[in-house]
Structure formats: structure tokens, C-alpha cells
């Protein structure tokens, strides 16, 4: 009996080590995949294969050690597939996007699958937080190296291709909006850790974060970085920040005053940047809504018209899948909750909320608990990601974010009395 128990634990540890190894290198593989696409013109799908292998390992772990959770995951996959299945059997579509839909469903559920695995390892592994920090730091370094590559002209541009049309840089990451979400997570982790340990390091990292946000040149990245920097002292100092009787308070007020004084100079420099021309273009053609949504409001109207032409009852419950819309127009609004609604109905929105709830619950209940210092910044980061998902999309359906977000979220369980974060 003891032998069987030991054997089971040994298998769990083995799978766990393989998972953490793959998690540590997944952005390396993403970068290599992008390099092959850009430099060699070869789409080897390395990233997709690598993440598929990682997901299979996670599902094996859940099936063996957490079978009840596996049943829920399978049920969710079935529910999210119903809209596409109904559309195919009712002859509304030929199912041309079935392969895309399956990938999409797995991306939506990947953060929850990884989170359930990590939650179980938290109870079993005394080196858990050391492994989590290793995953975040290695991927953070890979992310920074890609951004540095962009400064020297290597990698993909954020907008446009070739010549003067190129705006921003994202290194060798092929993904688009996901870069902004990844930046939010890494920015939140490093800024919070620096603020808790060394205020000078916080200032240096704040400057670096702003530089990276400007380099990526998306509205999301620039605004999110500024919000994180401003909110960090507010979150950790609270009312003390405005009393002017302590160093953080004085530094915050002086910094804020300096920024306000220099606002005009910063704005003038911004108007000369290529990204400003892009923002102005959207504002002049589509107004404020067009600027904020980058034309997504037009896709939203088109998909709603198509949605309302079919069975509304089944549509509201399970959606109409993806293939049905793809035959008429651009099938994605690129706003996560709307995409989930059109494709999977209210069932899809509910599943997305379940994923978000699981990844936010601990940070919510521990927000004011000083024993869990990362909880408050994790909750704020999650709320930012929730907001971003409804403006720029590809956040909760991102293959890039899915494997680093749950690792960051697990720091809400970190208690400094158990392990020092260095």
C-alpha cells in the first residue's frame, strides 16, 4: 500500500517537474516560432505544438489526480461546442471553422486547467513558490529581450509592415493584442515586488515599463503601464500617501507634480510619434468610440445582425458557433465577452466568468490582508485584464497569456513567513 502511494506521488512529481520546465520555456518557443516565420518564412507551428504538449500533460495530471475537475473541463468543452454543432446540423454552415473553434475552446479553458494543477501542487510541493518565481522570471527575461530586439529593428512591428507604415515593436512574438496583456502581468509583478522591497528599484522599473509600453505602442500597453505605476503606491500606502508626513507620500506627490508640469512637453513629443497619427486617424474617421474600439463597434453591429437572424432562444443559450459568422463577415469582434456570447451564447459568457472567478477569488478575499502582499496587485491586474478584454480582445482567449497569468495569480497565496521573494 505504501509502495502504491509512493509510486503515485512520484508520478505526480515527475509530471509536475515536466510541466514547470515547459512553463519556463514557453515564451522561448514562441520567440523561436516568430523568428522562423519572419527570418526563414517557415511557419513550423512550434508554439502550437509545444503548448499542445503542455496542455496534454496538464490534462493527464488532472485525469489521474483530480478526476472531478476533469469532468467539469470535459463538460465545459461540450457546452462550448453546442452552438457550432447545432449550426452544422441545421445546415446553417459547413463547419469550416471547427478546427479554429476547438483551439479557441482550449485557449479559454487553459488558464483554469493550469490553475487547478498549480493549486494542487501548492498543497504538495514545498518548493512551489520557488518554481513559480523561476517560471515568471525566465519568461520575463525572454519578454524583455524581445522588446530590446525591437529597439534595434529586429522582429515584428505592432502595426503595419515595411517602411514608414511600421508602428511599434513586439520582438519575435507573432501575437498581437496578447503582448499588451503579457506586459500588464509582468509589469504588475516586477513593479509590486520592487515597491515592496526597494523604492529606488521601483522608480527604475517604472521608467523601464513606460519605455516598453511606448515601444509596443498599443493604447492598452501605454495606459496600463501608467495606471500600474500610479496605483502601486496607492494600493500599498493607502491614506498615508496623502498625509505628506512620510517618504513614500512626499515622493509620490513630487513625482505626480513633475509629471503634470511636464504633461505638455510629453504630449508634444507624443504628437510627433507615428502611433499618434494612427490614433488621430481612427478618431477623425470613427469618433471617440472608433478610437477606443479601433473599429470593433462596426464588427459588433454586423455580428449582432447575423445573430438575430437565427433561432434566438438557442442562440442566447449556446450561440451559433464560429463557422456560421465566418461565411458572411469577419467572425470575431475581438472583444472577448462579445465573441463568447456570439459563438457560445450565455453559456460561454458563464464559463468565462467561472475561469475569471477562480483566478480572482483568493486575491479578492485577501485584498486587505497584509500577510498576502501580492493579493491586492493581483486583483487590480485581473480587473485591468477584464477591462482590456472588452476593448482590445484576445485576453481570455490568448494562448500566450494562458500559461503565465495563472502562475502570477498563485502569488496571491504567497505568505512571506513561508518563503522570501528575492
Q: Check residue 29 and give its pLDDT.
A: 94
Q: Check residue 10 and give its pLDDT.
A: 86
Closest CA to 354 of 130, 86, 112: 112
Region of residue 166 (left: phi > 0; alpha: psi -120 to 50; beta: else): beta
Closest CA to 363 of 293, 411, 420: 411
Measure the CA–CA gap between 81 and 77, rounded to whole angstroms: 6
Q: Domain extents for the chain?
A: 9-413
Measure the CA–CA gap between 328 and 307, rounded to whole angstroms: 11
Closest CA to 135 of 57, 27, 49, 270: 27
Task: Point out which residues pair with 159 in neighbouring strands.
Answer: 167
Measure the CA–CA gap between 326 and 311, rounded to whole angstroms: 18
In a structure prediction context, what are the per-residue pLDDT tens digits for the chain, which is 422 residues long?
A: 444 455 788 889 999 999 999 999 999 999 999 888 887 777 778 888 999 999 999 999 999 999 999 999 999 999 999 999 999 988 888 888 899 999 999 999 999 999 999 999 999 998 999 999 999 999 999 999 998 888 877 878 776 565 555 566 788 888 767 888 899 999 999 999 999 998 888 888 888 888 888 787 677 777 888 889 888 888 888 777 766 666 667 766 776 666 555 555 555 555 565 555 656 665 556 555 555 566 666 777 888 888 888 888 889 999 999 999 888 888 888 888 999 999 999 999 999 999 999 999 999 999 989 899 999 999 999 999 998 888 776 788 888 899 999 999 999 999 887 654 44
Measure the CA–CA gap between 54 and 21, rounded to whole angstroms: 10
pTM confidence score: 0.88
CB distance 217 to 167 below 8 Å = yes
Measure the CA–CA gap between 345 and 43, rounded to whole angstroms: 33
Measure the CA–CA gap between 270 and 279, rounded to whole angstroms: 11
Q: Check residue 30 and give its pLDDT.
A: 92
DSSP state of 372: S
Grid coordinates representing 343 are 459563438
Residues 6+ positions from 419 with CB-CB distance below 8 Å? 129, 130
Burial class (CB in 10 A: 0-12, 13-18, 19+), 66: middle
Grid coordinates representing 170 are 513586439
Q: Which helix (H) or strand (E) holds 139?
A: helix 128-151
Closest CA to 150 of 211, 193, 83, 203: 211
Amino acid at each position: 500500500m505504501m509502495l502504491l502511494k509512493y509510486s503515485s506521488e512520484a508520478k505526480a512529481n515527475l509530471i509536475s517537474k515536466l510541466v514547470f520546465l515547459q512553463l519556463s520555456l514557453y515564451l522561448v518557443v514562441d520567440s523561436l516560432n516568430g523568428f522562423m516565420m519572419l527570418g526563414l518564412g517557415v511557419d513550423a507551428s512550434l508554439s502550437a505544438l509545444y503548448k499542445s504538449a503542455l496542455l496534454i500533460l496538464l490534462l493527464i495530471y488532472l485525469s489521474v489526480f483530480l478526476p472531478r475537475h476533469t469532468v467539469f473541463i470535459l463538460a465545459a468543452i461540450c457546452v462550448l461546442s453546442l452552438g457550432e454543432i447545432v449550426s452544422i446540423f441545421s445546415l446553417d454552415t459547413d463547419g469550416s471553422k471547427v478546427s479554429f473553434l476547438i483551439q479557441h475552446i482550449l485557449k479559454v479553458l487553459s488558464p483554469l486547467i493550469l490553475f487547478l494543477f498549480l493549486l494542487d501542487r501548492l498543497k504538495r510541493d514545498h518548493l512551489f513558490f520557488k518554481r513559480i518565481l523561476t517560471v515568471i522570471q525566465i519568461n520575463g527575461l525572454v519578454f524583455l529581450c524581445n522588446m530590446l530586439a525591437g529597439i534595434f529593428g529586429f522582429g515584428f512591428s505592432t502595426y503595419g509592415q515595411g517602411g514608414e507604415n511600421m508602428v511599434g515593436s513586439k520582438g519575435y512574438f507573432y501575437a498581437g493584442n496578447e503582448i499588451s496583456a503579457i506586459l500588464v502581468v509582468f509589469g504588475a509583478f516586477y513593479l509590486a515586488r520592487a515597491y515592496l522591497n526597494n523604492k529606488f528599484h521601483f522608480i527604475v522599473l517604472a521608467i523601464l515599463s513606460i519605455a516598453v509600453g511606448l515601444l509596443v505602442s498599443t493604447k492598452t500597453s501605454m495606459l496600463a503601464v501608467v495606471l500600474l505605476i500610479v496605483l502601486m503606491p496607492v494600493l500599498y500606502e493607502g491614506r498615508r500617501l496623502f498625509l505628506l508626513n512620510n517618504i513614500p507620500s512626499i515622493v509620490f506627490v513630487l513625482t505626480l507634480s513633475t509629471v503634470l508640469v511636464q504633461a505638455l512637453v510629453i504630449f508634444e513629443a507624443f504628437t510627433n510619434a507615428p502611433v499618434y497619427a494612427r490614433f488621430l486617424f481612427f478618431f477623425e474617421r470613427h469618433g471617440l468610440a472608433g478610437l477606443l474600439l479601433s473599429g470593433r463597434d462596426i464588427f459588433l453591429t454586423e455580428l449582432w445582425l447575423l445573430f438575430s437572424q437565427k433561432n434566438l432562444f438557442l442562440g442566447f443559450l449556446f450561440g451559433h458557433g464560429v463557422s456560421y459568422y465566418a461565411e458572411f463577415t469577419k467572425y470575431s469582434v475581438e472583444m472577448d465577452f462579445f465573441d463568447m456570447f456570439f459563438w457560445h451564447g450565455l453559456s460561454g459568457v458563464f464559463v468565462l466568468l467561472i475561469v475569471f472567478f477562480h483566478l480572482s477569488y483568493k486575491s479578492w478575499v485577501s485584498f486587505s490582508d497584509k500577510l498576502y502582499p501580492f493579493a491586492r496587485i493581483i486583483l487590480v491586474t485581473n480587473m485591468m485584464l477584464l477591462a482590456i478584454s472588452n476593448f482590445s480582445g484576445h485576453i481570455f482567449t490568448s494562448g500566450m497569456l494562458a500559461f503565465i497569468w495563472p502562475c502570477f495569480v498563485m502569488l496571491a497565496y504567497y505568505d512571506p513567513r513561508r518563503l522570501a521573494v528575492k
